[in-house]
Chain A
Amino acid sequence: MIDRIAQLPGLGRPQLPPLPMIRRQQIPEELGRATLLGVALLYLLVLVALPLVIVFVQAFAGGVRSYLAALLDPYALAAMRLTLLTAAIVVPMNLTFGIAAAWAIAKFEFRGKNMLITLIDVPFAVSPVISGLIYVLMFGAQGWLGPWLNEHNIRIIFAVPGIVLATTFVTFPFVARELIPLMQTQGNEEEETALSLGAGGWQTFWLVTLPKIRWGLLYGVLLCNARAMGEFGAVSVVSGHIRGQTNTLPLHIEIMHSDYNYVGAFATASILAMLALVTLVAKALLERRQPELRARAARQAV
């Protein structure tokens, strides 16, 4: 039973049942524990929390009014629209793929499965710079398909389709990675029963499988969405940076920053930071909602 739940942030937080904290032993041990806890929290605070804090501090450095002005700037709004649009296309695409891949991998045996799993993982470890570059090599005017696309007046890179493709690549593994281990642990019995009772394939999927995996699915979607909205490197290579047209939010941040508009840059960044926070809260809520899932994930983890 391969357990890939553990690999990504997102799934299977083992919210432990209350621990038996019975051992009120010696003071030194309590002290050691407190020190360890302090070290852990300090590391988290310095490394993770401070960058978040500084984003908001800088965003409001010019007061609320200039904060709002930065966000309501037409270029910022256009960037927001494009970012939402990209996510709205990419997430369903990777969602469909994730379900298909998980179904094939978790429910069936076939040769080369391990290879396939690795391939699905590869985009995770590819440098964003390379992820953008390969699409230029493929669809650029001097790339493989460039001349043909040019002839037919189809624009892929430096337009929305290119941004969508690069984002799809970068967020490729997330839904599949959540679903594969989940569906593997759940097994096939219930589906097989449904089928033997005369249900059709789609019916079985909608009524039996989907309800079982929907929370895992949502985790995957949340992660995929957060990454899709925040991708910078790969999108930067294929965007073309046309103001109001092909700039996404992260690119807009870079532009504001290099324009010496620090309040604007951090204000826009705060939107994405808030998105990150919303993602985290949503995740925590999902976990609370589905205690069985958590417990199961925790049990399967070893």
Chain B
Amino acid sequence: MRSAATLSRRTLTRLLGATLTACTLPGWGESKSAARTSILNVSYDATRELYEAVNPQFAARWLAQSGVQVAILQSHGGSGVQARAIIAGLAADVATLGSAYDVIQLAQQARLIPANWATRLPDNSAPYTSTVVFLVRRGNPKNIRDWDDLVRPGVQVITPNPKSSSGARVNYLAAWAWAQRRPGGSEATAKRYMQQLYQHVPVLDSGARGSTDTFAERGIGDVLIAWESEALLARKKLGLDRVEIVAPSLSMLAEPPVTVVDQNVDRHGTRAVAQAYLEFLYTPVCQQIIAQNFFRPRDPAVQQQFQALFPAVKLVTIDQAFGGWERAQHVHFEDGGVFDQIYGQ
């Protein structure tokens, strides 16, 4: 009995302690004082480092401008997962996702933003871009130069599943665009090429970071199809000497869009700061940070400055090649679409 009594007392103390810590958790007892505010930026996997660098800069600027201290909370995950979370009620003030398709869903599935969201900021509301490149092992032992090298016998390709990863959809569309545009190319040859390409894929991870891990840490595959931003980041984090980046002859312009989530900012009373946050992304200062974090800047002067890091590549856009994200999604990735046909459905 005695020991049971001490035990319950100890449990009680622990409970109390935990409750106290709970109260000190940020956001649990959100302070309502006017001089402090917070916004939530719901973003995707690849921008973690970027916004970690951007946020303090913006907070300092906003404090100087308005006298209000702003805390920017970050949430990262797969782009589609994040869009779904916002639709299901994750209280994002701004959404900075991986593909326009996911942002379109915010308007279509839940009317959280107006249909004309993309026109509210410059450059299709995408303050930074990227392209699709190949990451190969040091010395490029399989001599991979372009898309057709990926389907040579004995070459193993790593890329995530386009059905579960927004980033991988761009990879897929880039390959398709190249296959359709090469001499003698047509929709039929493109489809045949894609069929061949995915036969060379031994692992279809559910997300881009999973694929990088499979390629770099598990040592599987000869080439990883990745966004340039991800390839450069992986090269930095995993050691410069282990991998090399190869740019194909034709690639896709990836435009990760940003938007204020209107319904949420109006509720929270944070429209001004959220708007300013996104506009800050287009300023030269922030464009520098963007380039340093391996996304291609929009600002021509900054582009010039980082020329060496981002070589010129012939690019097409989703709008040019596929008539927009929604059509691309419908034709290629919906159930029974081209991707399913590739896997023989």
Contact = CB atoms under 8 A, between A and B. Distances in A.
Interface of A: 78, 81-82, 84-85, 88-89, 92, 136, 139-143, 146, 150, 155, 157-158, 160, 210-211, 214, 240-246, 255, 257-260, 262
Given A81-B21, A243-B74, A258 B207 contact: yes
B45 interface: yes
A259 B48 CA distance: 8
Interface of B: 1, 4, 11, 14-15, 18-19, 21-22, 25-28, 40, 45, 48, 73-77, 82, 85, 87-91, 109-110, 207, 209-210, 212-213, 217, 233-234, 237-238
- Complex A-B, nearest 7 residue pairs according to Cβ-Cβ distance, in ascending order: A140-B88, A141-B89, A88-B18, A258-B209, A260-B237, A158-B90, A242-B75
How would you classify the secondary structure of chain A's contact residues: helix, strand, loop or mixed? helix
B28 A160 contact: yes
Contact of B73 (A139, A143, A160, A245): A245
B82 to A, nearest CB: 8
Contacts of B27: 242, 245
A240 B234 CA distance: 25
A245 B75 CA distance: 9
Nearest to A146: B89
30 contacts: A78-B26, A84-B21, A85-B22, A88-B14, A88-B15, A88-B18, A140-B87, A142-B109, A150-B89, A155-B89, A157-B88, A158-B85, A158-B88, A160-B22, A211-B1, A240-B85, A241-B77, A241-B82, A242-B27, A242-B75, A243-B73, A244-B26, A245-B26, A245-B73, A255-B76, A258-B207, A258-B213, A260-B233, A260-B234, A260-B238
A142 B109 CA distance: 9
B87 A142 contact: yes
B75 A241 contact: yes
B44 to A, nearest CB: 11
B109 to A, nearest CB: 8
Contacts of A242: 27, 40, 73-75
B222 to A, nearest CB: 20
Contacts of B109: 142
| Max chain B C-beta neighbours (<10 A), residue from A136, A242, A259 | A242
B76 A78 contact: no
Contact of B91 (A82, A155, A211, A258): A155
Contacts of B18: 84-85, 88-89
Contacts of B15: 88, 92
Nearest to B73: A242
A241 B76 contact: yes
A259 B109 CA distance: 30
A141 B4 contact: no
Given A84-B18, A155-B91, A245 B25 contact: yes
